[in-house]
Amino acid sequence: MTEIFESAGQALLYGVVGLAVMAVGFGALDLVTPGKLFHVVWRDRNRGAAVLLGSQSVAVGLVIMSAIRASESEEGLGYGLFSTLLYGLAGVLVMTLVGIVIGLLTPGQMGAVALDDGDDHRPHPAAWVQAGMYLGTAAMVGAALS
């Protein structure tokens, strides 16, 4: 029974680290998209922004999952939490940099184009491209951790 409580405590700690990394990811995405992301998604109901935020959240979760798996070592819980935090932040940094580079290579400002739902309120195709880029980047970072 003690092992169950210990494992639950560890899961909680890894969850807190994952939440912190997701919050940093949210902030990074907010920096590269026009407007305040929280308002754009929840108040303005922008579908393109929701596609980006949702895909980035899944991508960060995948990086965190890989980081937790990679942190399983004999170094102890503290080491595992710290390495998960660093790997997660590295994943957010790589996703943000790839997003910026893609934005420089495409017409218009990528963040602004991806948030253009148009008159039909459908996400711009660029939102789906950027969403795929986040998921692809997460796969690359996750593979690098294994």
**Model pLDDT, residue 114:** 77
**Model pLDDT, residue 16:** 96
Domain ranges of the chain: 1-145
pLDDT digits (tens, 9 = 90+) for 12-49: 999 999 999 999 999 998 888 888 988 989 999 989 88
Q: Give the list of residues 6+ apart from residue 14 with CB closer than 8 angstroms, or none.
A: 64, 68, 80, 81, 84
pTM above 0.95, yes or no: no
**Model pLDDT, residue 81:** 93
| Dihedrals phi, psi of 34, to nearest 5 degrees | -70, 150
Cα separation, 127 vs 49, whole angstroms: 7
Q: Give the list of residues 6+ apart from residue 30 with CB closer than 8 angstroms, or none.
A: 36, 37, 38
Surface-to-core class of residue 11, CB atoms within 10 Å of its CB (0-12 exposed, 13-18 middle, 19+ buried): exposed
Place of tokens 């590295």: 90
Cα separation, 68 vs 17, whole angstroms: 10
Query: Where in the chain does DSSP place strands (E)?
Result: none
